[in-house]
Chains A and B, each alone.
Chain A
Amino acid sequence: MTETTLSAPAKPAKKSARPGTLALLLNNSLATGGLIVLALICLIALAAPILPLPDPDVTAPADRLKPIFSEDHLLGTDHLGRDLLSRLIWGSRVSLAVGLSATVIAAFFGSLLGLVAGYAGGRTDTIIMRGIDMVMAFPYILLALAIVAVLGPGLLNALYAIALVNIPFFARNIRGITLGLSRREFVDAARLSGKSPPQILFLEILPNVLPVIVITMSTTVGWMILETAGLSFLGLGAQPPQADLGSMLGEGRKILFTAPHVSIIPGLMIFALVMSINLFGDGVRDILDPRLRAGSLTRPVSRTAVERNKADIPAPSEKQGVLDVRQMRTEFQIGSSVYKAVGGVDLNLQQGECLGVVGESGSGKSVTAMSIMGLVPTPPGRIAGGAAYLEGEDLFAASDRRIRDLRGGSVAYVFQDPLSTLHPLFTVGAQLTEAITTHQPMSRAKARDKAIDLLSLVRIPNARERLDAYPHELSGGMRQRVCIAMALANDAKVLIADEPTTALDVTVQSQILTLMNGLRRERNAAILFITHDFGVVSAICDRVAVMYAGRIVETGTTDEVLNSPQHPYTAKLIECVPVLGEPERRLDAIEGRPPVVNNLPAGCAFADRCPHVQPACRQGEISLDMSSGTRGVRCLFPLTSGASA
């Protein structure tokens, strides 16, 4: 499992103590097994000349077709009385040598072509790649056959044929990488320093491409051994008396019914060889290309796991309201470390109210939003404590079935990027009607009519025609309107909007905000509005909660917080907002970075970046002081009104 599984902002720091390549490889038991078998086969094959084996080519008609475990012949003999064990070992030697040579040849010429095509670009690239395309238009094995037809049967010719048909694979792979690399800064730098193209290609680019070449080789060598064996099996590769595993199998086939072991044994050897190479190759690939490591693709289950201490579930607050989040904690388990993305958050949402949750990326605001309806991916996420009450019902204790009914029903979401959140392969209409019919059984025609109504509601012109449009055919603003329409499909009581305007340009942004605000007033729905933008907050939110490192550091009405921030972090955030007509205003980015949430400091998490930090700030838990009603701040030395951070 790696950090790529995290959709949450809690990105772990890169591990500094990286285990060595070999250690990583040995951790993978399958790869280790493959390596051991492969090494064993290679060792025996290499040692063939010094092993006490009978001559593999000496015929002994008297001893023909002896079964396995015969005296003097452990694996028996073939139709000419030749010792099968000896032939097997010598044959493996040939097969290995041919397979490896073919791989090396293909890798060399393929990579060369790929490097040149990728680096030169333009016409050279076009010519090379069109040639490669042409070759690839043939079925692979057929092309090998055609080449053998030209060159004539023979082991060496089979080797050339297999190498040749694999060149395109290397060329394409390497070209892609080279193309990307040749536009990178370090290549530009080398060019400016006066290095010649071959120097750049082989000294700058090649070292970066090498892992890909190795990966490609490790994944192709098994295949090439299989293919050369295949050609030999057909009688087009090794010619008697020379024998590789394939030709042994081919010869054995003629006496399959009388002496099956003569063909079964070499086949088993090919299988063992290829399987061990493939297992080992998988391991090598996983190490050299961590992005592809098996664990990095973990399927998230349909709902976030809940692992709460049953005895410690907070009761709903007195304020109740539509949505009442109490002491919610959400964690991510990455390897052995635990990232506390949300560390005990309280939120309260009354009917028709809009609550803004503000913070930098990584503050845990999105995870907070996703946790409520269990949309945080598990693994690696889990809800570790607290409760979320929807009109008094504990959502974390609800059944999966119940959660499904509530999702898109009472609680609807609008996400950040409308391009990636709408399914690209279904029309807008199909997605809208699906949202409707999931919660309200009705005929398709009726659902369609309702979908048209919804699109008109979110001010999409030509709603009827738009239904048949795919998301990619709409503008960003239109797409977000569709998402909002989808969220409104079933009269939601709570709308959770996770940065719904961040991906949009400013004019569209204000249209969407106006739309949401209007809808809220019309339908009396509550909105939980996640954003990093105080401008957006002031436009739509009644109250605001500022989050930092997974906790709320300040909360209050929008006016209070915006006009007299008490937490230094809030003050800094507000200073970051540019104000029209005040060009002299300093735009302070906050110095430093938010803390990593797997290792939070004691005391105030903002202490390291705070201009007013005192020694006391770093000692002990600081509570959110809610003494003055709706206003609260998690700071020992809150700013007084008028003071600047």
Chain B
Amino acid sequence: MRRLEGSAVHTAGPILRDGPDGPPQDDVLVCCDALESGLFCGAHLVRLTVRPHATTGERPLAAYIARRLLAAIPVLFGLTIIVFLIMAMIPGDPATAILGSYATPENVAKLNKDLGLDKPLIQQYFIWIGNLFQGDLGRSYTLNRPVLDEVMERFSATLILAGTSLVLCSILGLLAGIVSAVRQYGWADKIITLLVLIGISTPSFWLGLLLILIFAVKLRLFPASGMYAIYGGGDLPDLLYHLALPAITLSVVATGVIARLTRTAMLEVLRQDYIRTARAKGLSEQKVIYKHAFKSALVGVVPVIGIQAGFVIGGAVYIETVFQWPGIGSMLVTAISTRDLLLVQGGVLVVAAAYVLFNLLADVVQTILDPRLR
């Protein structure tokens, strides 16, 4: 577990050393921050690529971003392969699933032929990926509409929910983390630490039910479910009104993770020599903390926010079910129960691709913040 030297998270000497014959070790794990920052939330694996400090000449940021975009292409291809293989591994054949167990063998064979399932796997993959490029993800047999249409419609609803949550948890998490670090061992720190512990340990689906009971049933402040009012809704205030409870519920765990990491990163950074330099310059404590220390801490936290994006989108599965939000998560759960595999395939693919792009974004933001990574 080596930590990234020179990012926000500086630590004692690296455990790993490059052997004389080994390849340069560029994969760095920042996961122990997560261990350090406490409870595992599955969100701690951060890969960063460290380059030697003395770079030869400055590469423009745009070129770096372009390189990262190019590097994302094979990852996206890999995703299509995995998604395709997962679906191909499903026991039993889809034709039987579609036609039901009373179908005649002739009908099954015919449908298999129509679906192209009698061809070799590799050929099937290329047909599938070819169709994918033309925007054809197949047809959902339960909904009887193109998978792509359904997935895109659902995904936009999820993006609204997950995006709001992500903004919420980033702001709250960073704020709480900074306050916690600055007031270390003070009452604010203790309260935040306790809240974070509780937040991380709370099942989000249960929290959603509690919030519905309190704020929708008892206090009647917010609606219990849905995205828009059935009658007369559809505008932004209506959306926000419906968004409040699910977005808050969804952001709780991620807020906790980000707060913990921010606290640790801030404490780690505040011990650095360059903070002493900032103080020796005569800077005010505000500037030392919010300018010098925070910028460094942010470099370490940003990739974690990227990772949290995946957890927020994934966690949306529960929240959408609880709040009957018409997003991709609730679609997937239904599709899995009804064995609508093409719909599952399309949904998984789109969400996974979005996750890759989110992480790419986090990478780029991190690079903008830290010139050493360029």
Q: Are A275 and B372 in contact (CB under 8 A)?
A: no
Q: Find residues 284-337 in chain B having any chain A CB closer than 8 Å to their own CB.
A: 284-285, 288, 292, 295-296, 299, 310-311, 313-315, 317-318, 321-322, 332-333, 335-337
Q: Does A253 contact B (CB under 8 A)?
A: yes
Query: Separation in Å of the A438 CB from the closest CB of chain B?
Result: 5
Q: How far is the CA of A17 from the CA of B374 in the complex (A)?
A: 48
**Closest A residue, CB atoms, query B34:** A219
Q: Find residues 31-60 in chain B having any chain A CB closer than 8 Å to their own CB.
A: 31-32, 34-36, 38-42, 44-45, 47, 53-55, 58
User: Which of B38, B273, B369 interacts with A420 by CB under 8 Å?
Assistant: B273
Q: How far is the CA of A133 from the CA of B47 in the complex (A)?
A: 10
Q: How far is the CA of A460 from the CA of B317 in the complex (A)?
A: 58
Q: Are A270 and B337 in contact (CB under 8 A)?
A: no
Which chain A positions have C-beta within 8 A of B311? 139-141
User: Which of A177, A267, A302, A483 interacts with B206 by CB under 8 Å?
Assistant: A267
Which chain A positions have C-beta within 8 A of B100? none
Number of A-B contacts (CB under 8 A): 292
Q: How far is the CA of A424 from the CA of B276 in the complex (A)?
A: 13
Residues of A within 8 A of B (CB): 4-5, 7, 121, 129, 133-142, 145-150, 153, 166, 168-169, 172-173, 176-177, 179-180, 183, 212, 215-216, 219-220, 222-223, 226, 229-230, 233-236, 249, 253, 256-257, 260, 263-264, 267-268, 270-271, 274-275, 278-279, 281-282, 285, 289, 291-292, 297-300, 302, 373, 375, 377, 404-409, 412-413, 415, 417, 419-426, 434-435, 438-439, 470, 472-473, 483, 486
Which chain A positions have C-beta within 8 A of B210? 264, 267
Residues of B within 8 A of A (CB): 1-2, 6, 11-12, 15-17, 19, 22, 25, 27, 29, 31-32, 34-36, 38-42, 44-45, 47, 53-55, 58, 75, 78-79, 82-83, 86-87, 89-90, 181-182, 184, 197-198, 200-206, 209-210, 212-213, 217, 264, 266-268, 270-274, 276-285, 288, 292, 295-296, 299, 310-311, 313-315, 317-318, 321-322, 332-333, 335-337, 341, 344, 348, 351-352, 355-356, 369-372
The main secondary structure of chain A at its interface with chain B is: helix
Which chain A positions have C-beta within 8 A of B352? 137-139, 142
User: Which of B1, B58, B75, B337 interacts with A137 by CB under 8 Å?
Assistant: B75
Q: Are B38 and A212 in contact (CB under 8 A)?
A: no
Q: How far is the CA of A419 from the CA of B202 in the complex (A)?
A: 43
User: Which of A134, A415, A472 interacts with B371 by CB under 8 Å?
Assistant: A472
22 A-B pairs (CB sep. < 8 Å): A141-B311, A142-B310, A142-B314, A145-B348, A172-B31, A173-B29, A223-B39, A223-B41, A235-B333, A267-B210, A278-B200, A278-B201, A281-B40, A299-B182, A407-B280, A408-B280, A420-B272, A421-B273, A423-B278, A424-B370, A438-B283, A472-B54
Q: How far is the CA of A300 from the CA of B336 in the complex (A)?
A: 53
Q: Are A138 and B280 in contact (CB under 8 A)?
A: no
> With A134-B82, A149-B344, A404-B282 as given contacts, are A257 and B337 in contact (CB-CB < 8 Å)?
no
User: Which of A282, A302, A421, A425 interacts with B39 by CB under 8 Å?
Assistant: A282
User: Which of A179, A271, A299 interacts with B201 by CB under 8 Å?
Assistant: A271
User: Which of B273, B292, B351 interacts with A415 by CB under 8 Å?
Assistant: B273
User: Which of B19, B181, B355 interacts with A138 by CB under 8 Å?
Assistant: B355
Q: How far is the CA of A149 from the CA of B27 in the complex (A)?
A: 32
Query: Separation in Å of the B292 CB from the closest CB of chain A?
Result: 6
Query: Separation in Å of the A304 CB from the closest CB of chain B?
Result: 11
Q: How far is the CA of A413 from the CA of B250 in the complex (A)?
A: 48
